[in-house]
Amino acid sequence: DIDYILWTGDLPPHDVWNQTREENLNVLRDTVTQMLETFPGVPIFPALGNHESAPVNSFPPAFVPEDNSISWLYDELDKQWRRWLPAGVSHTVRRGAFYSVLVRPGFRILSVNTNYCNNKNWWLLINSTDPANELQWLVYELQGAEMNGEKVHIIGHIPPGHSDCLKVWSRNYYSIIN
């Protein structure tokens, strides 16, 4: 029996010059449908990959105006991920595609959007420290989990410390979790 599934992103094909917003949204919707049909009743905890945006690796911070914002993706993620996630995570999914879920008493999953450390995300030239206040949120979530005696699994797409993840972000991340 499967207790739950961890989904760590990169759903669209890696034909980056052919990707569009609409095609990436269709891939997301189709994948969610396939997962629901293949694993009925199994909780799925998704994380966002760098290929879900169009153009690839483009994850602007929340203050970027609508024409260039990533809200088209985050709003659809919220809608699709809601099949497995509680409504209470909607505000962080729509803000930055990250969330915290209590899987069962004593066990929590945190999904982080590591595209905010992706050195190919040129939007980080504006703010590479914590553009969606995700690391600040991570501190809050981990403090709460510690106070409640919860074990935590953190999922994401780009591993902190990897050459694709900005060193300053990785350093801040490791300072938080250690």
Average pLDDT, the chain: 96
- CATH number where 129 lies: 3.60.21.10
What confidence tens digit (pLDDT) does each residue in 48-94 have? 999 999 999 999 998 888 889 999 999 999 999 999 999 999 999 99
What is the per-residue pLDDT across 153-173, written as a single tens digit (0 to 9) for each?
999 999 999 999 999 999 999
16 pLDDT band (50/70/90 cuts)? confident
In tens, the pLDDT along 119-136 reads 999 999 988 889 999 999
As a whole number of Å, the CA-based R_g of the chain is: 16
CA distance 42 to 57: 30
- Residue 75: the pLDDT is 98
In this prediction, residue 58 carries a pLDDT of 96
- The terminus-to-terminus CA distance of the chain in angstroms comes to 33
Q: What residues form DSSP beta bridges with 163?
A: none
Alpha helices in the chain (DSSP H): 21-38, 71-81, 90-96, 134-147, 167-177
The answer to whether 4 and 46 have CB atoms below 8 angstroms apart is no
In this structure, the number of other CB atoms found within 10 A of the CB of residue 21 comes to: 14
What integer pLDDT is reported at residue 144 of this predicted model? 99
Distance CA 48, CA 45 (A): 10
Residue at token pair 């699994």: 153
Is 44 a residue whose pLDDT tops 90? yes
Using alpha carbons, select from 109, 127, 137, 140 the residue that is nearest to residue 169.
127
Q: Which of 91, 83, 15 is nearest to 54 (CA)?
A: 15
Number of Cβ within a 10 Å radius of residue 87: 8
The tally of domains found in the chain comes to 1
User: Which pTM value belongs to this model?
Assistant: 0.96
Q: Quick one: pLDDT at residue 63?
A: 86
Q: Which domain holds residue 153?
A: 5-177
